[in-house]
């Protein structure tokens, strides 16, 4: 297992956890007993971690060879 696999597994676990937490937080009685700081701490850390990981899943931009760029520029 390489680093990429581990990052993928971490992102999957964070999404699963956030989804479970969102379901749990829908309980109005539980939610009404929480203060804003508690909710922010409860949800914010994992959400922030996920947002920071998402760029790792971007597809790489296609690489252009210099001649392709020149050909496109002169064709138009």
Q: Residues 42, 47, 51, CA angle at the centre, nearest 5°?
A: 165
Residue 35 or 53, more confident: 35
Who's near 6: CB < 8 A, 6+ residues apart? none
Question: What would the pLDDT profile of 51-75 be if each residue is shown by its tens digit?
Answer: 887 787 776 666 655 555 555 555 5
Percent of the chain predicted with pLDDT > 70 = 75
Predicted pLDDT of residue 34: 83
Q: Output the pTM of the full model.
A: 0.51
């Amino acid at each position: 297992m390489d680093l990429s696999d581990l990052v993928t597994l971490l992102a999957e676990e964070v999404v699963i956890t956030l989804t479970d937490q969102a379901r749990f937080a829908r309980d109005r009685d539980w939610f009404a007993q929480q203060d804003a700081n508690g909710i922010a701490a409860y949800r914010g850390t994992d959400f922030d971690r996920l947002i920071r990981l998402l760029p790792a899943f971007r597809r790489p931009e296609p690489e252009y060879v210099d001649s392709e760029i020149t050909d496109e520029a002169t064709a138009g």
